[in-house]
Amino acid sequence: MIGLHDFIIKVDKEFQDTFRTESGLELYADKKFSPDKLATRIATVQEVPKFYNGLIKKGMQVFIDHTVFLRETYQRQGTVENIYTIDAQRGLYKIQDELIYMYRENESAAWQGNNDNLLIQEVIEEVEEEKIGSIILSPSKSVRKGVHIVVYDNKSLNELGVKKGSKVIINEMLRMPITIDGEQYYQLNNKDIFAVYKN
């Protein structure tokens, strides 16, 4: 099987039964209500597009958009297969380059942002607790608005001098929440970074 215009990917299961919270608690959920948390986001590349000459190779792992597994359900026709499915029983799907957020050589390799995609995390600052007696009015940790740390970078970003660990100011309206192993991250595009702090 050769992908003409799309990547052909394989997953063992479309949706998991549980997801893990930041504290490590494992929760059961319904895929109808929490598809973004339960969707299998890591797939294996079976084939690359015929005329593709990028960095993603056959056999690599890719971190994908969860919408690949979403389907429409109608009152008369029932559930209709989506445009990405090749063979759901075998776990085969075809996806465009823009639906791949990150890629890596194998399970032990570091993730790399695909094209202009990157993952960021909020900056949490320690602040003094406000108290009246034993009543806490404000917590000891605070999110610094607009400021994030780059967790997974990409080649284009590196060429601009921004790398993993860089502190950046972003457009918060355009970030998309993503959970990996219970950790909360945000997917973003290079163009949505306003500025970078000097080291």
Residue with tokens 């995609």: 117
81: number of Cβ within 10 Å: 9
pLDDT tier at 137 (50, 70, 90 boundaries)?
low
Share of the chain above pLDDT 70, in %: 88
d(CA 172, CA 157): 18
Q: Report the predicted TM-score, pTM, of the whole model to 2 decimal places.
A: 0.80
Residue 122 DSSP symbol? E
Q: Which pLDDT tens digit goes with each residue over 23-70?
A: 777 888 877 777 777 788 999 999 999 889 889 999 999 999 988 888
In the structure, how many helices (H) and strands (E) does the chain have? Answer: 2, 19
CATH superfamily of 117-196: GroES chaperonin (2.30.33.40)
Q: Which pLDDT tens digit goes with each residue over 73-100?
A: 776 777 777 889 999 889 999 999 999 9
Domain ranges of the chain: 7-113, 117-196
Q: What is the mean pLDDT of residues 121-149?
A: 71
| 174 within 8 A of 165, measured Cβ to Cβ | no
Q: Which pLDDT tens digit goes with each residue over 139-181?
A: 556 566 778 999 999 999 999 889 999 999 998 888 998 888 7
Judged by phi (left if over 0) then psi (alpha if -120 to 50, else beta), residue 78 lies in left
Beta partners for 187?
A: 119, 176
